[in-house]
Structure 1
């Protein structure tokens, strides 16, 4: 079993970094920084199938898991990505556990021999999915439940504002229910909220490489003593 998958199963703190750019060289560099897994975002990003293959190979050189967020759950979409020699998938756009089970069955069909080693992360990002959470939690093949806070807030009628008190309360309830079942929770974290989401139970910490760049740039400017007008 790949290390990232096992760490998710054991609820160890792990990092999943969205590469944000379709560049194998960037993946090669980021994977030297001690991350656990790199996300190749084919739902919101623009990697081609060739890009996915090249980026996955770059991650493999450093023993880092390559995880593709697929754009949709059609069987042919799943099969094309799974045959790119990736280490696992994030499955978005799910409203019911039955949809997740169907997608997992299609993954098993695409890579039957390697299926036990593939990481499977499902996103919980809609009111419908939250209502069906108990059934999601009954699926043994899922390694992590990744809460899509922005889309959940949109589904709740708050235009993606996951800082709204009603959304925060729902997020807290979802996390508590997942943790109570001994399952892994994934959450998008920022500089100012990472610790608070960890304290609530998130163990897979998801971030964009663009945020890494902003954090590094701010520290660099601070150390170099740049004037305030240079700050973004």
Structure 2
């Protein structure tokens, strides 16, 4: 089923991948029915188990989407279990060198030898070392998307990986993200990164196709907007 993700990316379409931020197959289904192309199941920083992967990815597929998993490491057994649990692809962290990239491709193909062409392999470029080795990493065949991770990249540059609400990352980090996305696209490869509402158009113009976002901001923004809309009505009632 993931073949259609390959097709969309090959056409140059933007693909929206949303992290539900909660272990909930129902929410995964709802996100896809609301327009997300894929859900992101995080086993590196999240709490999802292999059984959770199975149910969440299945729910996303039931709604017509896909489930992409970030495993907690690059070990063969970990990646294999994520894919065998039903993931439509994996987004592997910490691809610092071409040698690591080659090993990840080998592990991925070993895990699903008869089906790897139908699964999505995303490699994360998220350190100064990875950016320094980017040309060699991009030359490794078998990685479908090169994802620039701004949080870990920030940390490797000496900045906090977190961003306070309403704030932006340090400008040197933003500049390096832009430059890295452009280099990926210039090499004829597919690029992806984390987006937020205010910078999504800019990042797409830099070459990002796989757009990663979190579900929690949707909820927070919706509740905040409803509170603001209801405040004048509540105040009017109190004056009568």
| TM surpasses 0.5 | yes
1:67-92, Cα deviation, whole Å (9 max, x unpaired): 00111001111111111121100000
Aligned partners of 2:178 and 2:203 also within 8 Å? no
Corresponding residue for residue 195 of structure 1 = 201
Residue 170 (structure 1) aligned to one of 171, 176, 197: 176
Corresponding residue for residue 180 of structure 1 = 186
Stretch deviating more after TM superposition (36-45 or 212-221): 212-221
Give unpaired runs (5+ residues) of structure 2.
234-240
Aligned partners of 1:9 and 1:143 also within 8 Å? no
Q: CA deviation at 1:201?
A: 1.8
Q: CA deviation at 1:179?
A: 1.4
Matched, 1:78 2:84: no
Q: CA deviation at 1:56?
A: 1.1
Q: CA deviation at 1:216?
A: 2.2
Aligned partners of 1:9 and 1:183 also within 8 Å? no
Aligned partners of 1:145 and 1:184 also within 8 Å? yes
Corresponding residue for residue 13 of structure 1 = 14
Matched, 1:213 2:207: no
Matched, 1:34 2:40: no
Aligned partners of 2:9 and 2:190 also within 8 Å? yes
Could you tell me the TM-score, scaled by structure 2's length? Answer: 0.89
Aligned partners of 2:126 and 2:148 also within 8 Å? yes
Q: Secondary structure at the match of 2:208?
A: coil
Aligned partners of 2:53 and 2:86 also within 8 Å? no
Aligned partners of 1:19 and 1:41 also within 8 Å? no
Aligned partners of 2:20 and 2:28 also within 8 Å? yes
**CA–CA distance in 1 between the matches of 2:90 and 2:126?**
16
Aligned partners of 2:108 and 2:121 also within 8 Å? no
Q: CA deviation at 1:116?
A: 0.6
**CA–CA distance in 2 between the matches of 1:158 and 1:143?**
29
Q: How well do the aligned residues superpose, as a CA RMSD in angstroms? A: 2.0
Give unpaired runs (5+ residues) of structure 1.
228-232
Could you tell me the TM-score, scaled by structure 1's length? Answer: 0.91
Q: CA deviation at 1:226?
A: 5.8
**CA–CA distance in 2 between the matches of 1:97 and 1:212?**
37
**CA–CA distance in 1 between the matches of 2:217 and 2:26?**
18
**CA–CA distance in 2 between the matches of 1:135 and 1:8?**
22
Q: Secondary structure at the match of 1:206?
A: strand
Aligned partners of 2:148 and 2:192 also within 8 Å? yes
Matches for 1:100-119 after TM superposition, within 5 Å? 100-119=101-120
Corresponding pairs, count:
229
